Structure 1
Amino acid sequence: MKVLVKSQVVKLKQVEHMNSEKNLLALVSSTSSIGPKKFCVSLFCTFQDERNLYMLMEFVQGGELFSHLRRAGRFLVDVARFFAANVLLALEGLHQLDIVYRDLKPENILLASNGYIKLTDFGFAKRVPDRTWTLCGTPEYLAPEIIQSKGHGKPADWWAFGILIFEMLVGYPPFFNSDGQGPFGIYEKILACHLIFPQEFNPSAMDLVKKLLIADRSKRIGNLKGGINDIKDHDWFKGVDWNLLLQQLIPAPIIPKISKPSDSSNFEYYPAAQMDDLPGIQRGSRPLSYDGHQYNSNQSDQDIDPYGYLFESF
């Protein structure tokens, strides 16, 4: 359950993002396309009360790919290839819906109980038939065209895909802040695009990463005439049965340990707001609306929702 305080969403100017995230997750969850349904987290329903927004989503128990990568240090080639192929199918499905994900990173990739991935956090995702100009995403994964405000679209996801492959095989992204300069130091490194590969880096993976991390998006693999098939047919993915992978019939290299349906032990502990700390939430209380059905209650003047008009479609 994702709970968001309306006043904070408004204060941080995230109203458009929240409505967009809800609409995109609803689209992904209802599509007939297999890729997004199998490789993206599902949204079951949304509702709200006078103070908060609620998003009831699929509980993906295997934890973040980031946590598994950090424990391993780096992934073996076959492990990285499996997860990269999963992500490729997820992005393929999203792009077919004209959705640019824009925040690909290990922290936003969850492992399901069968070891397959689920993309989560669609806060930066957007339906983009052509291009958009918003600067958003995680600095280490931003494509040059995003940094330079040249307008970006699906090719930006292919750049991030190259960063992800590099990070899975090495343990850290190719462009990161090592001198305390903050994001601007990272941006300079991205624009310089000087790649340094460890000596043991897999040669075919190196070739693919180089083709993904081309600053000129018109020459970037995935954005060429062959589209995503150029990536699928690359030598690094040789031997991958894409149909079996789509049906999730290939054994995963990492199977999360899950003891019960409510097991959350695969997730890192982050201090979170307690129920009593969230405005408007009381034990046993019912939301103002659920799936379009209104609950009648004797509301006092202080319970009137001043932000309701901003979330009419939520």
Structure 2
Amino acid sequence: MEPEKTETSEKQNSDHFRSEKYSMDSFDVLGTLGVGTFSRVRLVRSKDQSHMKPLALKILKKTSILKMRQIKHLRNEKEIMEQLDHSFITKILGTFQDDYYVFFVLEYACGGELFTRMKKLGTFPAQDAQFYIAELVLALEYLHDKGIVFRDLKPENILIDRLGHIKLSDFGFAKAISDGKTYTMCGTPEYLAPEIILGKGHGREVDWWALGVLLYEMLAGYPPYYDDSPFNIYQKILLGRLIFPPHFDDVICSLISGLLEPSIQKRIGYKQNAASELKNHAWFSNIDFSSLLAKECASPWVPELMSEDDTSNFNTYPDSLDQPHAPKFTRDRDPFIGF
């Protein structure tokens, strides 16, 4: 399938769901793709015969959202995702709700999580890592140009589409900060930049730090700073003793060292043209970023699928038997109005 046809298909699917209201009755449920603290992602297919492409439906429990005081957090995620339209970022196609749940309708990336691929291979060949990291540079550049910091870059939040390209997903920690700073400590311990741990305030530079952690883990099979205890992980990050495996060459060590620079002012990603600085690094000398953005470059791995709704690249989860109580509020005081 040609990339441009795929993009056209995705655009038509998006326009369909943005232009009309729908409910769970609009879909046939095909299986579960993943589970979270108070959410579950299911594979669904529209009952509308003209829009039969599989979709991912993120289902969030209202009682849990209220209990954990996450309404503002959830609205922020929705509002950020609705303004994004990029080849390497998961598109939100619409939202709706019932008495029990809030629903996000998302495009389906059938290749599963990059995390699963990493576990299977152990380490990536350098050219494979280069391909995925280069696509992430383009996705993060797009977000940062919009004044959005992602704040949760890790293999579990990177999906692979049916052509083998990445889709950045899960914007639960993303925040619009423009040129300012934010002070909330959030993210995954191994991927946290020092300024997040120290509570000094942070900006887009934390995403470039996390990209350095991801690149190191892709090539080494483990993150640069790890431990069973989050506290010990933080201590190691703050100490900053970066040790490279013997098979890392000077060029990759230079790039990772620049991304994992504890001093924000010296880190690759601090300058206004951070993405350009990365693109011009010697490690990317053979990458044509324009062709990559147009999906004209062959991906290192293309999922083999039995059908469009094949879920074999995802873990298997049992169906939930949980039937939560509906939150008690009148419709005119419903904090979820707008989904």
* Fold shared, TM-score > 0.5 on shorter chain: yes
Q: Could you say what secondary structure the match of 2:84 adopts?
A: helix
- Name the structure 2 match of 1:288: none
- Name the structure 2 match of 1:116: 165
1:68 pairs with one of 107, 117, 121 = 117
- Name the structure 2 match of 1:165: 215
Q: Is residue 2:311 matched to residue 1:311?
A: no
Distance 1:6 1:81 in 2: 40
- Name the structure 1 match of 2:82: 26
Could you list the runs of 5+ residues in structure 1 that have no partner in the other structure? 30-36, 282-301
Q: Could you say what secondary structure the match of 2:139 adopts?
A: helix
Cα pair 2:208 2:259 within 8 Å, conserved: yes
Q: Could you say what secondary structure the match of 2:105 adopts?
A: strand
* Structural mapping, 1:272-291, within 5 Å: 272-274=319-321, 277-279=322-324
Q: Is residue 2:257 matched to residue 1:210?
A: yes
Distance 2:90 2:146 in 1: 16
- Name the structure 1 match of 2:202: 152
Shift, 1:135, TM fit: 0.3
1:137 pairs with one of 187, 200, 213 = 187
- Name the structure 2 match of 1:79: 128
2:308 pairs with one of 257, 261, 275 = 261
Cα pair 2:194 2:262 within 8 Å, conserved: yes
**Percent sequence identity over aligned pairs:** 43
- Name the structure 2 match of 1:200: 247
Shift, 1:225, TM fit: 5.3
Cα pair 1:50 1:305 within 8 Å, conserved: no
Shift, 1:270, TM fit: 3.6
- Name the structure 1 match of 2:290: 243
Q: Could you say what secondary structure the match of 1:110 adopts?
A: strand
Q: Could you say what secondary structure the match of 2:87 adopts?
A: helix
1:191 pairs with one of 238, 261, 266 = 238
AA at the equivalent of 1:170: A
1:14 pairs with one of 61, 67, 70 = 70
Shift, 1:259, TM fit: 1.6
Distance 2:88 2:194 in 1: 27
Q: Deviations over 1:102-143 (max 9, x none)?
A: 000011000000000000000000001111000000000000
Cα pair 1:50 1:304 within 8 Å, conserved: no
Distance 1:256 1:308 in 2: 46
Q: Is residue 2:92 matched to residue 1:43?
A: yes
Change (3 A) 1:239 1:134: same
Q: Could you say what secondary structure the match of 2:59 adopts?
A: strand
AA at the equivalent of 2:203: G
Shift, 1:269, TM fit: 2.2
Shift, 1:227, TM fit: 2.1
Distance 2:234 2:66 in 1: 29
Cα pair 1:52 1:279 within 8 Å, conserved: no
Distance 1:27 1:278 in 2: 33
Shift, 1:256, TM fit: 1.0
Distance 1:234 1:66 in 2: 26
Q: Could you say what secondary structure the match of 1:185 adopts?
A: helix
Cα pair 1:40 1:120 within 8 Å, conserved: yes
- Name the structure 2 match of 1:3: 59
Cα pair 2:63 2:325 within 8 Å, conserved: no
Cα pair 1:101 1:157 within 8 Å, conserved: yes
Shift, 1:313, TM fit: 2.8
TM-score by length of 1: 0.86
Q: Could you say what secondary structure the match of 1:39 adopts?
A: coil
Distance 1:25 1:136 in 2: 19
Instruction: Give the RMSD, CA atoms, in angstroms.
Output: 1.8
2:155 pairs with one of 84, 106, 112 = 106
Distance 1:192 1:268 in 2: 36
Greater strand proportion: 2
Could you list the runs of 5+ residues in structure 2 that have no partner in the other structure? 1-56
How many residue pairs end up in the alignment? Answer: 282
Shift, 1:159, TM fit: 0.4
Cα pair 2:163 2:302 within 8 Å, conserved: yes
Distance 1:188 1:45 in 2: 42
Shift, 1:268, TM fit: 1.6
Shift, 1:194, TM fit: 0.6
Distance 2:323 2:167 in 1: 28
